[in-house]
Structure 1
Amino acid sequence: MHNLYERLKQQKEAKSAASRPDSGPSGVSVVDAASVSDARREPRPGRRPAVRLSPPWEQVAGEVWRAVYRSAAPAAAVVRRCASIGGLLVGPETDPEGLCFLDSETTGLSGGAGTTAFLLASARLQAEELETTLLFLSDFSGEPVFLQLVREQLLRAQTLVTYNGRAFDVAILRNRFLLNRIEPVERQHIDLLHPARRLFGTVLERCSLSVVEREILGITRQADIDGAAVPDAWLRFIRTGDSARIQPVFSHVLQDSASLLQLLARIELLAADEDGNGNVDPLQRARLLIESPYRVAGSLSLRQRGLSSLEALACVPDHPQSATAARYYCALQRRRGNWGAAQRVWLLHFERRRSLWAAVELAKYHEHRRRDLAAAADIVERAAGWDHARAVQAELVRRRQRIERKLLRSLVKTRAAGKTGPYDGV
């Protein structure tokens, strides 16, 4: 037993000596430099790697970084001109220098309390340049400081310009402000998604910013990161500290903010009819100009231009949107009491397209406005003979019967009075 114990003890000592690193002449352990480098590159569990970002990035405080980029902005001249004369989205009440083109990147798209904004781009016009400030959160612990700096950027702005920012970017920031007990900032807001959908929604496969950039602005991104991959890129950056993983996200958000300026200028040019881009819904363009829903004090010249465009579209019966444009145009003119303009369009569609809706509107116009029952009866009689009128045959029959009853009562009254009425020959 004693010999067995000694042998086991010797084997244990030999094993420990074999696993111990070699020592140099002075007794200091010699360790492979490559293994040290690997150990530093791959952090131990629970140990956070150091964050290093190259200029123009500067560390503002703790986990918050800031960078400022400047680029030429030819579209700035268009925005300034439209702001001075009054455009669809900007007007004399808008200070071009107070526009803040805002975009953010977050940890997800759910929009709930667990979604955090970690990157914000705020771009402003400076003369003929676009100055973009990026604020970056390199770890969750720095969020309160990050939000304070974001708030300072928002306070400098007069009007925010975003793409789906009303439902997402601004809503996320507001949630994070409230969760961190920071007072939110309220500013005027131009969300370009809504006019873009109305102008391009029927001619584009979808109205995401990347599609609008490619099809409307002619911008093709090179080696761009997919928006869905952005949250994962940031989380990997937090775990590894590798700045190469996050650089594509910086380029992505910079392009987003620059595209907002170009898209704003393009929409204003389309509203002013100074852009010949064919990828526009002409009906929605006219309706946008007439309604001017994005400015409190819309320009009367814009509304008149929209009404003229709508009338021109309504008077081309062969256009696929002509019937819809005619209905909308006639409804507007009827509300304004301009019955003559509405009657001309109704008559055009009644005679050239045999439109049943135009026949009904014309019959009502003659029956109720002009009190010309004979003309109303003639229109209903002609429409009832069309082959495609079977779907509304019952309505036409009821209308004709009502007009005939009115004609009969009028005839009885005139004969009882001993007069010759206008409908005696009917």
Structure 2
Amino acid sequence: MPDLSRVREILKSARGTRPAPGPIAPPGARVDLDAVAARLGGELGENEAGRYILVRSRYPGERRYGRGSIADAGADLTDGEAFRVLGGLARTPPDDGRALFIDLETTGLSGGAGTVAFLIGVGFFGGGDFHLNQYVLPSLGAERAVLAAVDRLVRSSSALVTFNGKSFDVPVMETRWTMGRMPLPWGELAHVDLLHPARRLWRRRNCRLTALEVDVLGVRRDGDVPGSEIPARYIGYLRRGDPMPLCPVLEHNRLDLVSLAVLTARACRLIAEGPQGDAGAAQQVALGVLYERAGRGSDAAACYRAAAEGPGADGVRAEAMQWLALRSRRAHQHDLAATWWERVLALPAVPDRIGREAAEALAIHHEYRARDLIRASTFARRALQNERDPRRRDAVQHRLARLDRKRRRGGLGLRMDGGAGFEPRDARPDGSRTGWGARRPV
């Protein structure tokens, strides 16, 4: 058995002699900004708050990006109403403004007061081309200069477009502006977070921007730096002063911005084409939801009908019929709603959740409106078949027991209130409700 000193010697040799990482330069440290800017392919900018690095680039309109050109994307984004529907905005952005596409690269991926945006990428269309301004933080002491430069650009815009910006980019920006004691520049500015409509429109398991690039745009990146490595690259620059590891980060940010802009344009085109376009059944349902939330009910109904009557998968068609049934119910067209629910149950493969809702709605309809207790019992039993939630099973069994009592008495379960908009709900003996009203689909 080796002695303790020998064990210590072995462990020391195994650790090697790698030097400890150097300290991060303090905010007031001198940095050769001219050299850093030149190596990053940028220029020095200056304002009342100090100096910063600005890297400009341009994607000409005739350049192809995936399956379309940059100019085509810019043209699709001129439809202000489609842009409003996409973002669920209360009003259409002004025609004389421009949308800014924003993406941050930060010193951390979790947000919080300690997360600094060392690169703020901003893209916008102009003259048929796509322009990019990338504001780089050359040292920690230059943050106010970068924020002031971005502030001016944001105030001249009509809308912001981000990808997961409501959860990450905008909160980080709000924190940095607040810590810099600067008023927020966006105020009432419209903000479209593409992540949420993208999940509806393209229904991918992986809805990361790079995954949508491949599936929707047909773009594949070669040699792209992983996002998880980006914070360490900037920390390494602060320690060693070598900006070259940041060059792939700038390219990563550029590609994020171009893909964000082109994907936003593709979504706006789908919205502009509407039910007359060549979107598949799943996209028609997604378009219907977007129209519905934007107050365009007739367009929403047309999209749902196109999906319900089309050749899509049973699950997608069932979802479209579900929306049509709920629209009919809200319009007090109860017989039409029942027809759509029956069509849902007639499909060979119906998702359990939608099938249960259809059976429940039909049980209610036949008990209180059609006054057919036998059919009401049939649909209630069908709702019970795949119901696993104990509380909801109890509600169905409560309904079946009541229907059985009515049938034994020979009653029809007549409504006594006479109100056209009455929505029946089951009351338990303790006065609580079973909550059998039809739910909105998710």
Output the TM-score relative to the length of structure 1. Answer: 0.72
Distance 1:340 1:369 in 2: 9
Kept after mapping to 2: 8 A contact 1:97/1:124 = no
Kept after mapping to 1: 8 A contact 2:281/2:306 = no
The residue that corresponds to 1:416 in the other structure is: none
CA shift, 1:137, in A, is 1.0
Distance 2:309 2:281 in 1: 18
CA shift, 1:68, in A, is 2.1
The change in CA–CA distance for 1:80 and 1:377 in structure 2 (over 3 A counts) is same
The residue that corresponds to 1:59 in the other structure is: 44
The residue that corresponds to 1:191 in the other structure is: 193
* 1:272-329 residue CA offsets vs partner (Å, 9 max, x unmatched): 347757695654443233223xxxxx4455334334345437xx89702444443333
1:344-383 to 2 correspondence within 5 Å? 344-350=339-345, 357-370=357-370, 373=371, 376-380=372-376, 382=378
The residue that corresponds to 2:289 in the other structure is: 287
RMSD across aligned positions (CA): 3.7
* 1:162-210 residue CA offsets vs partner (Å, 9 max, x unmatched): 1111221121111111111111112210110111122334xx2321111
The residue that corresponds to 2:120 in the other structure is: 120
* 1:325-351 residue CA offsets vs partner (Å, 9 max, x unmatched): 433331221111122321222333455
Question: Secondary structure, in 3 states, of the residue corresponding to 1:329?
Answer: helix
Give ranges in structure 1 of 5+ residues lacking alignment: 1-41, 293-297, 412-426
Distance 1:95 1:141 in 2: 38
The residue that corresponds to 2:133 in the other structure is: 133
The change in CA–CA distance for 1:351 and 1:236 in structure 2 (over 3 A counts) is closer
Distance 2:283 2:161 in 1: 23
Distance 1:112 1:386 in 2: 50
1:232-271 to 2 correspondence within 5 Å? 232-271=232-271
The residue that corresponds to 2:166 in the other structure is: 166
Question: Secondary structure, in 3 states, of the residue corresponding to 2:410?
Answer: helix
Q: How many equivalent residue pairs?
A: 357
Kept after mapping to 2: 8 A contact 1:286/1:309 = no
Which structure has the larger Rg? 1
The residue that corresponds to 2:410 in the other structure is: 407
The change in CA–CA distance for 1:222 and 1:252 in structure 2 (over 3 A counts) is same
Distance 1:225 1:339 in 2: 56
| Identity over aligned pairs, percent | 26
Q: Counterpart amino acid of 2:54?
A: R
CA shift, 1:84, in A, is 7.7
Distance 1:279 1:118 in 2: 42
Do residues 105 (structure 1) and 117 (structure 2) align?
no
Distance 2:306 2:317 in 1: 11
Q: Counterpart amino acid of 1:78?
A: D
Q: Counterpart amino acid of 1:189?
A: H
Question: Secondary structure, in 3 states, of the residue corresponding to 1:59?
Answer: strand
1:149-164 to 2 correspondence within 5 Å? 149-164=149-164
Question: Secondary structure, in 3 states, of the residue corresponding to 2:215?
Answer: helix
Kept after mapping to 2: 8 A contact 1:317/1:323 = no
Distance 1:341 1:175 in 2: 51
CA shift, 1:77, in A, is 0.9
Kept after mapping to 2: 8 A contact 1:120/1:135 = yes
The change in CA–CA distance for 1:383 and 1:363 in structure 2 (over 3 A counts) is closer
Q: Counterpart amino acid of 2:254?
A: L
The change in CA–CA distance for 1:126 and 1:406 in structure 2 (over 3 A counts) is farther
CA shift, 1:76, in A, is 0.7
The change in CA–CA distance for 1:311 and 1:151 in structure 2 (over 3 A counts) is same
Question: Secondary structure, in 3 states, of the residue corresponding to 1:268?
Answer: helix
Give ranges in structure 2 of 5+ residues lacking alignment: 1-21, 62-69, 388-392, 415-442
